[in-house]
Structure 1
Amino acid sequence: MDAEHLKRLEGREAEYIPDILNEFNKKHADLLVFDSFHSDNQWHELWLAIFGILDDAQLGHLHTQCLNTVRILTRDEFSLQTNYIEHEVSQLLRLARVEASSLKLPATPDELKQQEEGQLQLQEQPSLAQSDIIAEALKCLCNLVYQSADCRRQCLRQHCLDAILKRVASSMRHPCALEYYDMKLLFFAHSSGASGSQPSPNRSQRSHLHDQSGWMTSWPSPAAAREQLIIICELAQSDV
């Protein structure tokens, strides 16, 4: 990305951002080698510029596009390991609505379900645009948890799994794409922790995850069955 475009992103010049990000996202959609981004600190500067936009609620209409850019950047394992990104990971947890601020912890799975039932009247079904933002943020977190041990530890410390399990157990209906990336993030966090070198989900989380194992096989309608069958076929894919 040239210096002028980066400056416009840093300045949050809303009229230019869509075209700049659209060009970047198309050009680098399949990028896996980031050597050219390591000179002049370009990766980190772009990373901070994008998260500056994501931190601006007035630019919410650009957040899905920004998260697509973040998803591309999270493929760069070297930059994830060499830059301090804890604040940005927390932002992604918030955008994915899997931060634990709304949970009363520690709690058993049954207690989490009671919390969900008690708050259900206060919650609103996410709009389609909001669900897109949640799903895109989850994609980024999947990459981060897969690529970085530090990110895995941070997500576990911040009770990300508890928040996901609460959403999975919720009676509220969510788009299948969102449910898919919830399950994918659970899988990555659980399988990474199971190696023994990383913090692993606690007993109540493992038990609750087992209780939710019927999620993909409880198909309420042929249309939902088709949608979820596609998800099952995609679960084996690790690249997001």
Structure 2
Amino acid sequence: MDLNTVLSQLEPDNEEEVEKLLQQFNRENIHTFSFDPTEETLRIKLCQSVLTALGMQMQPGCQRTCLETLRILSRDKRVLAPVATKEGVLILGAMARLRAGEEDEEQEEEEEGDDRRGSREHVQSEAEERVVVEALKCLCNVVFNSPAAQQVSVEVELAHSLCARLRAAREWHHEVGLFTLRLLFLLSALRPDVRAALRREWHAVKLLTEVLEHTLDVRWVGPYEAARPEPQGPPMPAEDNERAMEALKALFNLTLSEAGGEEDDHQFRLVAAILRHLLMLKTETEEKTEEAHSHAVNLLNNLPVTCLDVLIDVPVQGGQEKYGGKNMDVVQVLLDFMEKRIDKGSNYKEGLTPVLSLLTEGSRHHREIRRFIKAQVLPPLKDVKIRPEIGTTVRNKLVRLMTHVDMGVKQTAAEFLFVLCKESVDNLLKYTGYGNAAGLLVARGLLAGGRGETQYSEDEDSDTEEYKTAKPFINPITGHVEEPMPNPIEEMTEEQKEYEAQKLVNMFDKLSRQNVIRPMGVRPDGTLAPLVETLCDPHDDNSGSDSD
């Protein structure tokens, strides 16, 4: 549909014509909207006209159509000037039923058990609800694509209004909750000042924790222990999973920088407990379950490492005696998740390194976690005839990553194995070979051996009889017992040996004359110098004629 035609026939005061005209435009452009540079001015004018129409009193059906048009147009960053103003953001905020400054009143109502605000949300008709959803979608697009709109959102305290929405009611339509959370995530991601205000002034970490608790139907059986999900119970509904993912993404932004204090510690432990519950849940598809676990891992990386004990301190559900009575179920889930990400063979930086970092820090600071993971990843060696990087075990896969082309992936995998070996160079070389471990040892300055700085408890590090027997024959570079190589000169005659030796001398002579290599010697002071200089050093007291 030609934009000139739309603009010429669009009369904001004729609601019926506006709705009919824009519905046709939406149908034609919803999937194939063209960003033709020659029509940029026309699209800006259309944005302004639609925004003007939204500022008038219209029926919900026409409002929704206008918002759909604005959502289509807002995919183009270059035409957002009319919307990225205080007037534009306030109009969209009003369409989304976001009202700043009502949080305190609603908090009081909640404390008194008054659900009037929630009831007002529920009495909206389905048509009005669709208007709210479309307005939130528009705000998401506009805020994402326009720095000017982001600044205006700060000025009108849009994030404050979103918190008020989340605090006021829990049973809104799925998409209302979903896009409220998504808009909060975008603002917290794009504006560090909003992130700080959300955390400090509006207690958004606590609020989002409550949203997660409600969405995941967490039932507490201990201070930081949620009831175990039924093994044969139904999977988490797709809609609940979607809202939980948005809440996790927003929480990730808010916990990027840790704060101190007992209140924060308590809040972070609650988050860790909820994430443990989430990691034990299944969704309707394996792909969605993996996505949920990925977001949980990212958020766990932001929490203080001291809070990770919540993952294994679950007395009601029992633990394993060999690991101090700790419950290792969630650690096993994380190990399985790590192996799946390795097996994918792609996107290691974003997909694998977070879980490796989490398991590394958990192992470094929690002895039981390290012992459990080591038993899974680095069991006692028996067969040492195969190179450490060859095979299908988790150890083989991780050793292969130690020589990955991506420096971050390589270092993270090596650090993980190093910590499992209690930062002992000898133990690391035993499992990986010097060739695979050289990069980490150089980076840590540990080529001469020794340990890292972390103190580890003494435990049952013991070698199998098979390993003890084979140890003298293991090549420390490759980390395995190599088949003896045949001696290439055994069957040579003396003439052939002399010929090969002379050929080698000629090769070195040629390289020396071309300055490719330079024979070196050691001066009396211990420094290296060209061999000629060390033989004729004028500072050498013994140079010159022989003494009598």
- With the shorter chain as reference, the TM-score category is 0.7 to 0.9
Partners of 2:14 and 2:103 lie apart in 1 by: 36
1:214 aligned onto 2:213: yes
The residue that corresponds to 1:33 in the other structure is 35
Q: Could you say which residue in structure 2 is the equivalent of 1:177? A: 175
In structure 1, what is the equivalent of residue 426 of structure 2?
A: none
Q: How far apart in 2 are the matches of 1:56 and 1:130?
A: 16
1:1-240 maps to which residues of 2 (within 5 A)?
Answer: 1-30=2-31, 31=33, 33-38=35-40, 41-80=41-80, 85-103=85-103, 113-115=107-109, 120-121=115-116, 124=120, 125=122, 126-171=124-169, 173-194=171-192, 199-202=194-197, 203-205=200-202, 206-207=204-205, 208-218=207-217, 225-231=237-243
SS of alignment partner, residue 237 of structure 2:
helix
Distance of aligned partners of 1:3 and 1:154 in 2 relative to their CA distance in 1, 3 Å threshold: same
Q: Could you tell me how far apart the structure 1 residues matched to 2:141 and 2:23 are? A: 21
Deviates more, 1:122-131 or 1:134-143: 122-131
Q: Judging changes above 3 Å, is the alpha-carbon distance between structure 1 residues 141 and 165 closer, same or farther for their aligned structure 2 residues? A: same
CA RMSD of aligned residues (A): 3.2
Query: Contact between 2:22 and 2:69, CA under 8 Å: does it hold in 1?
Result: yes
Query: Which letter does structure 2 place at the counterpart of 1:46?
Result: L
More helix by share: 1
Question: In 2, distance between residues paired with 1:113 and 1:164?
Answer: 14
Is the alpha carbon distance of 1:15 and 1:73 closer, same or farther for their aligned partners in structure 2, counting shifts above 3 Å? same
Of structures 1 and 2, the one scoring higher in RCO (CA 8 A, sep 6+) is 1
CA contact (8 A) 1:145 1:189 kept: yes
The structure-2 alpha-carbon separation of the partners of 1:58 and 1:28, relative to structure 1 and needing over 3 Å to count, comes to closer
User: Which segments of 5 or more consecutive residues in structure 2 lack a partner in the other structure?
Assistant: 220-233, 250-548
| Aligned length, in residue pairs | 225
Is this contact kept in 2: 1:51–1:88, CA < 8 A? yes
Please identify, of 68-77 and 113-122, the stretch whose mean Cα deviation from structure 2 is larger.
Answer: 113-122
Letter in 2 for 1:9: L
Amino acid at match of 2:241: L
The change in CA–CA distance for 1:82 and 1:5 in structure 2 (over 3 A counts) is: closer
Which residue identity does 1:75 align to in structure 2? R
State the SS of the aligned residue for 2:15. Answer: coil
Residue deviations 1:85-114 (CA, integer Å, cap 9, x gap):
33111100111122315455xxxxxx7522
Residue pair 1:216, 1:228 contacting (<8 A) in 2 also? yes
Are the aligned partners of 1:6 and 1:46 in contact in 2 as well (CA < 8 Å)? yes
Cα 1:134–1:83 change in 2 (3 A) is closer
Task: Decide whether aligned partners of structure 1 residues 4 and 234 sit closer, same or farther in structure 2, where only a CA change above 3 A counts.
Answer: same
Cα 1:234–1:29 change in 2 (3 A) is farther
One-letter code of the match for 1:52?
Answer: T
Q: Does structure 2 conserve the Cα–Cα contact (< 8 Å) formed by 1:86 and 1:154?
A: yes
Instruction: Give me the TM-score of the superposition, normalised by structure 1.
Output: 0.78
Change (3 A) 1:101 1:56: farther
Partner AA of 1:27 in structure 2: E
Q: Secondary structure at the match of 2:195?
A: coil
Shift of 1:4: 4.0
TM-score normalised by L of structure 2: 0.37
Task: Tell me what 1:107 maps to.
Answer: none
Aligned-partner residue type, residue 187 of structure 2: A
Amino acid at match of 2:79: S
The one-letter code of the counterpart of 1:45 is K
CA distance in 1, matches of 2:39, 2:218: 45
* Residues 159 and 82 of structure 1, relative CA distance in 2, 3 Å threshold: closer
1:171–1:18 Cα change, 3 Å: closer
Contact map agreement 1:153 1:199 (CA 8 A) in 2: no
Report if aligned partners of 1:74, 1:140 keep a CA contact under 8 Å in 2.
yes
User: Following the alignment from structure 2 to structure 1, what is the Cα–Cα distance between the partners of residues 235 and 52?
Assistant: 39
CA distance in 1, matches of 2:43, 2:140: 19
- Shift in Å at residue 156 of structure 1? 2.2
CA distance in 2, matches of 1:166, 1:56: 26
Quick check: which has more Rg, 1 or 2?
2
The 8 Å contact of residues 92 and 137 in structure 1, kept in 2 or not, is answered as yes
Match of 2:347 in 1: none
Per the TM alignment, residue 44 of structure 1 is displaced from its structure 2 partner at its CA by 2.2
Q: Deviations over 1:160-186 (max 9, x none)?
A: 112211221223521001100011001
What is the distance in 1 between the residues matched to 2:7 and 2:158?
32
Q: Return the alpha-carbon distance in structure 1 between the equivalents of residues 34 and 3 of structure 2.
A: 20
Counterpart secondary structure, 1:98: coil
